[in-house]
Chain A
Amino acid sequence: MPENENTLASQVFDQLRQAMASDAAAFTELYRDYLADAWRLLGMLREAVQQQQLEELRAKAHHLKGSSMVLGARAVAQCATSLEEMGRQADVQGAVAMLERTHQALQHVQSELADRLGAGVVPADKSAA
Protein backbone atom coordinates (compact mmCIF):
# COMPACT_ATOMS: atom_id res chain seq x y z
CA MET A 1 0.00 0.00 0.00
CA PRO A 2 1.46 3.40 -0.94
CA GLU A 3 2.36 5.60 2.02
CA ASN A 4 -0.15 8.32 1.17
CA GLU A 5 -2.86 5.64 0.78
CA ASN A 6 -2.36 4.81 4.45
CA THR A 7 -2.50 8.53 5.23
CA LEU A 8 -5.79 9.04 3.39
CA ALA A 9 -7.57 6.16 1.64
CA SER A 10 -8.35 7.23 -1.93
CA GLN A 11 -11.37 4.96 -2.22
CA VAL A 12 -13.02 6.55 0.79
CA PHE A 13 -12.11 10.08 -0.27
CA ASP A 14 -13.22 9.58 -3.89
CA GLN A 15 -16.52 7.88 -3.07
CA LEU A 16 -17.37 10.50 -0.50
CA ARG A 17 -16.54 13.25 -2.98
CA GLN A 18 -18.75 11.52 -5.53
CA ALA A 19 -21.59 11.20 -3.02
CA MET A 20 -21.31 14.92 -2.26
CA ALA A 21 -20.66 16.01 -5.83
CA SER A 22 -23.55 18.44 -5.76
CA ASP A 23 -21.96 20.44 -2.95
CA ALA A 24 -18.18 20.72 -3.15
CA ALA A 25 -18.08 23.32 -0.38
CA ALA A 26 -19.83 20.94 2.01
CA PHE A 27 -17.30 18.24 1.14
CA THR A 28 -14.40 20.54 2.05
CA GLU A 29 -16.25 21.59 5.18
CA LEU A 30 -16.70 17.94 6.19
CA TYR A 31 -12.94 17.37 6.13
CA ARG A 32 -12.22 20.73 7.75
CA ASP A 33 -14.55 19.80 10.59
CA TYR A 34 -12.83 16.43 10.86
CA LEU A 35 -9.40 18.05 11.12
CA ALA A 36 -10.56 20.62 13.68
CA ASP A 37 -12.19 17.88 15.75
CA ALA A 38 -9.18 15.59 15.46
CA TRP A 39 -6.74 18.28 16.64
CA ARG A 40 -9.08 19.08 19.52
CA LEU A 41 -9.30 15.40 20.46
CA LEU A 42 -5.53 15.05 20.26
CA GLY A 43 -5.19 17.88 22.79
CA MET A 44 -7.66 16.13 25.08
CA LEU A 45 -5.80 12.84 24.69
CA ARG A 46 -2.55 14.53 25.75
CA GLU A 47 -4.31 15.94 28.79
CA ALA A 48 -5.83 12.56 29.62
CA VAL A 49 -2.43 10.85 29.47
CA GLN A 50 -0.81 13.54 31.62
CA GLN A 51 -3.59 13.30 34.20
CA GLN A 52 -3.79 9.49 33.98
CA GLN A 53 -7.51 9.77 33.15
CA LEU A 54 -7.89 6.36 31.60
CA GLU A 55 -11.61 6.42 30.82
CA GLU A 56 -11.22 9.83 29.18
CA LEU A 57 -8.28 8.46 27.18
CA ARG A 58 -10.34 5.47 26.02
CA ALA A 59 -13.43 7.53 25.15
CA LYS A 60 -11.65 10.30 23.23
CA ALA A 61 -9.43 7.82 21.40
CA HIS A 62 -12.60 5.94 20.42
CA HIS A 63 -14.04 9.12 18.90
CA LEU A 64 -10.85 9.84 16.99
CA LYS A 65 -10.74 6.25 15.75
CA GLY A 66 -14.35 6.35 14.55
CA SER A 67 -14.18 9.60 12.60
CA SER A 68 -10.77 8.71 11.14
CA MET A 69 -12.05 5.33 9.97
CA VAL A 70 -15.18 6.74 8.38
CA LEU A 71 -13.24 9.46 6.54
CA GLY A 72 -10.33 7.24 5.48
CA ALA A 73 -7.53 8.59 7.69
CA ARG A 74 -6.12 5.12 8.27
CA ALA A 75 -2.84 5.92 10.03
CA VAL A 76 -4.60 8.22 12.50
CA ALA A 77 -7.23 5.52 13.09
CA GLN A 78 -4.49 2.97 13.81
CA CYS A 79 -2.85 5.27 16.36
CA ALA A 80 -6.21 6.02 17.97
CA THR A 81 -6.95 2.29 18.20
CA SER A 82 -3.69 1.81 20.13
CA LEU A 83 -4.50 4.69 22.47
CA GLU A 84 -8.01 3.38 23.06
CA GLU A 85 -6.58 -0.01 24.00
CA MET A 86 -4.08 1.63 26.37
CA GLY A 87 -6.97 3.35 28.11
CA ARG A 88 -8.99 0.14 28.27
CA GLN A 89 -6.05 -1.88 29.62
CA ALA A 90 -5.03 0.89 32.05
CA ASP A 91 -1.52 0.72 30.65
CA VAL A 92 -0.23 4.05 29.36
CA GLN A 93 3.34 2.92 28.88
CA GLY A 94 4.20 4.12 25.40
CA ALA A 95 1.28 6.54 25.28
CA VAL A 96 3.47 9.63 24.92
CA ALA A 97 5.24 8.12 21.91
CA MET A 98 1.88 7.08 20.44
CA LEU A 99 0.55 10.62 20.89
CA GLU A 100 3.54 11.90 18.93
CA ARG A 101 2.85 9.36 16.17
CA THR A 102 -0.78 10.46 16.13
CA HIS A 103 0.31 14.09 15.79
CA GLN A 104 2.55 13.23 12.85
CA ALA A 105 -0.14 11.11 11.18
CA LEU A 106 -2.67 13.90 11.55
CA GLN A 107 -0.20 16.41 10.15
CA HIS A 108 0.23 14.15 7.10
CA VAL A 109 -3.54 13.89 6.62
CA GLN A 110 -3.83 17.67 6.81
CA SER A 111 -1.08 18.13 4.22
CA GLU A 112 -2.65 15.53 1.94
CA LEU A 113 -6.06 17.18 2.22
CA ALA A 114 -4.57 20.61 1.57
CA ASP A 115 -2.98 19.22 -1.60
CA ARG A 116 -6.27 17.73 -2.76
CA LEU A 117 -8.76 20.35 -1.62
CA GLY A 118 -6.72 23.51 -1.16
CA ALA A 119 -5.65 25.47 1.88
CA GLY A 120 -9.29 26.15 2.77
CA VAL A 121 -9.58 22.68 4.29
CA VAL A 122 -7.11 23.52 7.05
CA PRO A 123 -8.84 24.77 10.22
CA ALA A 124 -8.17 28.44 10.88
CA ASP A 125 -6.13 27.89 14.04
CA LYS A 126 -3.94 25.30 12.28
CA SER A 127 -3.20 27.18 9.07
CA ALA A 128 0.23 28.25 10.35
CA ALA A 129 1.11 24.75 11.58
Chain B
Amino acid sequence: MATTPIRVLIADDHPVVRVGLRNMLQGDSFIKVVGEARDGVEALDLARRLRPDILLLDLAMPIVAGMEALREMTSANLNTRTIVLTGLIDNRQILEALQLGAHGIVLKDAAVEHLSQCIRAVMQGQYWLEGRPVQNLVQVLRDLTVQTTAPPRKTFGLTARELEVVTLITEGCTNKDIAKQFGISEETVKRHLTNIFNKLGVGNRLELALFALNHNLLPPTEGN
Protein backbone atom coordinates (compact mmCIF):
# COMPACT_ATOMS: atom_id res chain seq x y z
CA MET B 1 0.00 0.00 0.00
CA ALA B 2 1.42 3.35 -1.00
CA THR B 3 1.77 5.85 1.83
CA THR B 4 1.60 9.56 1.19
CA PRO B 5 4.43 11.37 2.98
CA ILE B 6 3.54 13.81 5.72
CA ARG B 7 4.00 17.30 4.24
CA VAL B 8 5.88 19.64 6.55
CA LEU B 9 6.48 23.40 6.48
CA ILE B 10 9.39 24.73 8.56
CA ALA B 11 9.17 28.27 9.98
CA ASP B 12 12.26 29.62 11.70
CA ASP B 13 14.05 32.91 11.11
CA HIS B 14 17.52 31.39 11.35
CA PRO B 15 18.75 29.72 8.14
CA VAL B 16 21.12 27.30 9.92
CA VAL B 17 18.21 26.00 12.00
CA ARG B 18 16.05 25.55 8.90
CA VAL B 19 18.80 23.69 7.05
CA GLY B 20 19.50 21.52 10.10
CA LEU B 21 15.83 20.61 10.50
CA ARG B 22 15.34 19.98 6.80
CA ASN B 23 18.31 17.62 6.71
CA MET B 24 17.16 15.96 9.90
CA LEU B 25 13.73 15.23 8.42
CA GLN B 26 15.06 14.18 5.01
CA GLY B 27 16.30 11.00 6.65
CA ASP B 28 12.69 9.99 7.26
CA SER B 29 11.06 8.67 4.10
CA PHE B 30 7.56 9.26 5.51
CA ILE B 31 8.15 12.98 5.88
CA LYS B 32 8.58 15.55 3.12
CA VAL B 33 9.61 19.16 3.74
CA VAL B 34 7.52 21.20 1.29
CA GLY B 35 8.59 24.69 2.27
CA GLU B 36 10.54 26.97 4.58
CA ALA B 37 9.48 30.31 6.03
CA ARG B 38 11.71 33.01 7.54
CA ASP B 39 9.12 34.88 9.57
CA GLY B 40 5.57 34.68 10.80
CA VAL B 41 4.06 36.41 7.76
CA GLU B 42 5.80 34.08 5.34
CA ALA B 43 4.77 31.10 7.47
CA LEU B 44 1.10 32.09 7.20
CA ASP B 45 1.39 32.82 3.49
CA LEU B 46 3.10 29.50 2.70
CA ALA B 47 0.71 27.60 4.92
CA ARG B 48 -2.24 29.04 2.96
CA ARG B 49 -0.63 28.26 -0.39
CA LEU B 50 1.03 24.90 0.29
CA ARG B 51 -1.54 23.48 2.76
CA PRO B 52 1.03 21.38 4.63
CA ASP B 53 -0.07 18.68 7.07
CA ILE B 54 2.32 20.03 9.71
CA LEU B 55 3.76 23.45 10.46
CA LEU B 56 6.92 23.48 12.55
CA LEU B 57 6.79 26.90 14.16
CA ASP B 58 9.49 28.76 16.06
CA LEU B 59 7.98 31.01 18.73
CA ALA B 60 10.53 33.84 18.48
CA MET B 61 10.25 35.10 14.92
CA PRO B 62 10.32 38.61 13.48
CA ILE B 63 7.42 40.58 11.99
CA VAL B 64 4.72 38.27 13.30
CA ALA B 65 5.80 36.39 16.43
CA GLY B 66 5.11 32.68 16.75
CA MET B 67 2.16 32.96 19.15
CA GLU B 68 0.42 35.46 16.89
CA ALA B 69 1.11 33.29 13.85
CA LEU B 70 -0.31 30.34 15.76
CA ARG B 71 -3.47 32.29 16.58
CA GLU B 72 -3.91 33.24 12.91
CA MET B 73 -3.19 29.71 11.74
CA THR B 74 -5.93 28.36 13.98
CA SER B 75 -8.46 30.99 12.93
CA ALA B 76 -7.62 30.40 9.24
CA ASN B 77 -8.84 26.82 9.67
CA LEU B 78 -6.37 25.31 7.20
CA ASN B 79 -6.31 21.73 8.50
CA THR B 80 -2.60 22.22 9.18
CA ARG B 81 -1.51 21.02 12.61
CA THR B 82 1.13 23.12 14.31
CA ILE B 83 4.09 21.88 16.32
CA VAL B 84 5.91 24.56 18.27
CA LEU B 85 9.67 24.22 18.06
CA THR B 86 11.44 26.28 20.67
CA GLY B 87 14.63 26.72 22.66
CA LEU B 88 13.02 27.30 26.03
CA ILE B 89 9.40 27.46 27.08
CA ASP B 90 7.70 27.93 30.43
CA ASN B 91 4.39 26.49 31.60
CA ARG B 92 2.52 29.70 30.89
CA GLN B 93 3.70 29.66 27.25
CA ILE B 94 2.92 25.95 26.92
CA LEU B 95 -0.61 26.61 28.15
CA GLU B 96 -1.00 29.58 25.80
CA ALA B 97 0.31 27.60 22.82
CA LEU B 98 -2.07 24.70 23.49
CA GLN B 99 -4.99 27.07 23.96
CA LEU B 100 -4.11 28.74 20.65
CA GLY B 101 -4.22 25.41 18.87
CA ALA B 102 -0.72 23.90 18.96
CA HIS B 103 -0.71 20.10 18.82
CA GLY B 104 2.85 19.56 19.98
CA ILE B 105 5.84 21.25 21.59
CA VAL B 106 9.39 20.10 20.92
CA LEU B 107 12.55 21.64 22.34
CA LYS B 108 15.21 22.37 19.75
CA ASP B 109 17.86 20.42 21.63
CA ALA B 110 15.61 17.36 21.48
CA ALA B 111 14.62 17.79 17.83
CA VAL B 112 16.83 14.99 16.51
CA GLU B 113 15.48 12.62 19.11
CA HIS B 114 11.78 13.47 19.04
CA LEU B 115 10.75 15.47 16.02
CA SER B 116 9.91 12.59 13.65
CA GLN B 117 8.00 10.76 16.39
CA CYS B 118 6.18 13.93 17.33
CA ILE B 119 5.15 14.61 13.73
CA ARG B 120 3.78 11.08 13.38
CA ALA B 121 1.92 11.26 16.68
CA VAL B 122 0.35 14.61 15.82
CA MET B 123 -0.70 13.29 12.40
CA GLN B 124 -2.47 10.44 14.20
CA GLY B 125 -4.45 12.98 16.17
CA GLN B 126 -2.39 12.91 19.36
CA TYR B 127 -0.86 15.80 21.27
CA TRP B 128 2.87 15.81 22.13
CA LEU B 129 4.56 17.36 25.15
CA GLU B 130 7.78 16.78 27.08
CA GLY B 131 9.08 14.13 24.68
CA ARG B 132 6.01 11.90 24.57
CA PRO B 133 2.39 11.72 23.42
CA VAL B 134 -0.10 13.24 25.81
CA GLN B 135 -2.53 10.67 27.20
CA ASN B 136 -4.97 13.07 28.80
CA LEU B 137 -4.94 16.59 27.38
CA VAL B 138 -7.68 17.82 29.69
CA GLN B 139 -5.64 16.80 32.74
CA VAL B 140 -2.51 18.45 31.29
CA LEU B 141 -4.42 21.69 30.68
CA ARG B 142 -5.87 21.55 34.18
CA ASP B 143 -2.43 20.97 35.74
CA LEU B 144 -0.85 23.78 33.69
CA THR B 145 -3.66 26.13 34.65
CA VAL B 146 -3.12 25.39 38.33
CA GLN B 147 0.66 25.80 38.00
CA THR B 148 0.40 29.12 36.20
CA THR B 149 -2.24 30.69 38.41
CA ALA B 150 -0.94 33.08 41.06
CA PRO B 151 -0.91 31.57 44.57
CA PRO B 152 -3.83 32.62 46.77
CA ARG B 153 -3.25 35.62 48.99
CA LYS B 154 -1.93 34.50 52.38
CA THR B 155 -3.76 35.79 55.43
CA PHE B 156 -1.54 34.55 58.30
CA GLY B 157 -4.65 33.92 60.37
CA LEU B 158 -5.94 37.50 60.16
CA THR B 159 -9.68 38.05 60.01
CA ALA B 160 -11.27 39.90 57.10
CA ARG B 161 -11.62 43.05 59.23
CA GLU B 162 -7.99 42.80 60.42
CA LEU B 163 -6.85 42.53 56.78
CA GLU B 164 -8.83 45.69 56.00
CA VAL B 165 -7.10 47.43 58.91
CA VAL B 166 -3.69 46.33 57.59
CA THR B 167 -4.55 47.77 54.16
CA LEU B 168 -5.48 51.12 55.67
CA ILE B 169 -2.35 51.17 57.85
CA THR B 170 -0.18 50.74 54.73
CA GLU B 171 -2.06 53.65 53.17
CA GLY B 172 -0.96 55.85 56.08
CA CYS B 173 -4.30 56.06 57.93
CA THR B 174 -4.35 56.92 61.64
CA ASN B 175 -6.39 54.99 64.19
CA LYS B 176 -8.90 57.83 64.13
CA ASP B 177 -9.22 57.56 60.30
CA ILE B 178 -9.75 53.83 60.52
CA ALA B 179 -12.30 54.16 63.29
CA LYS B 180 -14.22 56.72 61.27
CA GLN B 181 -14.11 54.64 58.08
CA PHE B 182 -15.44 51.50 59.77
CA GLY B 183 -17.78 53.28 62.21
CA ILE B 184 -16.05 51.77 65.24
CA SER B 185 -14.27 53.26 68.27
CA GLU B 186 -10.54 53.99 68.38
CA GLU B 187 -10.32 51.49 71.27
CA THR B 188 -11.62 48.76 68.93
CA VAL B 189 -9.06 49.75 66.29
CA LYS B 190 -6.30 49.48 68.93
CA ARG B 191 -7.56 45.99 69.86
CA HIS B 192 -7.47 44.97 66.19
CA LEU B 193 -3.92 46.31 65.93
CA THR B 194 -2.77 44.45 69.04
CA ASN B 195 -4.19 41.21 67.62
CA ILE B 196 -2.56 41.89 64.25
CA PHE B 197 0.84 42.62 65.83
CA ASN B 198 0.63 39.40 67.86
CA LYS B 199 -0.38 37.24 64.90
CA LEU B 200 2.32 38.62 62.59
CA GLY B 201 5.06 39.07 65.19
CA VAL B 202 5.63 42.75 64.36
CA GLY B 203 6.16 45.57 66.85
CA ASN B 204 4.91 48.76 65.21
CA ARG B 205 3.02 50.20 62.26
CA LEU B 206 6.11 50.55 60.06
CA GLU B 207 7.07 46.91 60.58
CA LEU B 208 3.48 45.96 59.84
CA ALA B 209 3.47 47.90 56.56
CA LEU B 210 6.76 46.32 55.49
CA PHE B 211 5.50 42.85 56.42
CA ALA B 212 2.32 43.40 54.43
CA LEU B 213 4.26 44.52 51.36
CA ASN B 214 6.80 41.72 51.57
CA HIS B 215 4.27 38.95 52.17
CA ASN B 216 1.63 39.85 49.59
CA LEU B 217 -0.85 40.65 52.32
CA LEU B 218 -2.48 43.51 50.46
CA PRO B 219 -5.38 43.11 48.04
CA PRO B 220 -4.48 43.46 44.35
CA THR B 221 -4.80 47.00 43.06
CA GLU B 222 -7.17 47.86 40.22
CA GLY B 223 -5.81 46.92 36.83
CA ASN B 224 -3.24 44.37 38.08
Residues of B within 8 A of A62 (CB): 60, 87
Bound Cα distance from A66 to B61, whole angstroms: 12
| A20:B12 contact, CB within 8 angstroms | no
Interface 1/0s, chain A 4-40, versus B by CB < 8 A? 0000010110011011110000110010011001000
Residues of B within 8 A of A27 (CB): 23
Residues of B within 8 A of A16 (CB): 20, 23-24, 112
Which A residues, 18 to 74, have Cβ-Cβ distances below 8 Å to chain B?
18-21, 26-27, 30, 33-34, 37, 62-63, 65-67, 69-72, 74
Bound Cα distance from A56 to B133, whole angstroms: 36
Residues of B within 8 A of A15 (CB): 24, 27, 112-113
Residues of B within 8 A of A11 (CB): 112-113
- The 8 Å CB contact of B87, one of A20, A21, A66, is A66
Taking A19-B24, A20-B26 as contacts, is the C-beta distance between A81 and B16 under 8 angstroms?
no
- The 8 Å CB contact of A19, one of B13, B28, B108, B109, is B28
- Write the chain A residue with the least CB distance to B26: A19
- The 8 Å CB contact of A69, one of B24, B27, B60, B87, is B87
Give the distance to chain B from A33, nearest Cβ to Cβ, in Å: 6
B39 close to chain A: CB less than 8 A? no
Bound Cα distance from A27 to B16, whole angstroms: 12
A99 close to chain B: CB less than 8 A? no
Interface extent on B, as a size class? 20 to 34
| B20:A67 contact, CB within 8 angstroms | yes
Bound Cα distance from A21 to B108, whole angstroms: 22
Bound Cα distance from A18 to B113, whole angstroms: 13
Bound Cα distance from A76 to B24, whole angstroms: 20
Taking A62-B60, A74-B109 as contacts, is the C-beta distance between A18 and B27 under 8 angstroms?
yes
A residues with CB within 8 A of B: 9, 11-12, 15-16, 18-21, 26-27, 30, 33-34, 37, 62-63, 65-67, 69-72, 74, 77, 81
30 contacts between A and B (CB under 8 A): A9-B109, A11-B112, A11-B113, A12-B113, A15-B24, A15-B112, A16-B20, A19-B23, A19-B25, A27-B23, A30-B19, A30-B20, A30-B23, A33-B19, A62-B60, A63-B13, A63-B16, A65-B87, A66-B12, A66-B17, A66-B87, A66-B108, A67-B17, A67-B20, A69-B109, A70-B109, A70-B112, A71-B16, A74-B109, A77-B109
The 4 closest A-B pairs by CB, nearest first: A19-B27, A69-B108, A67-B16, A69-B109
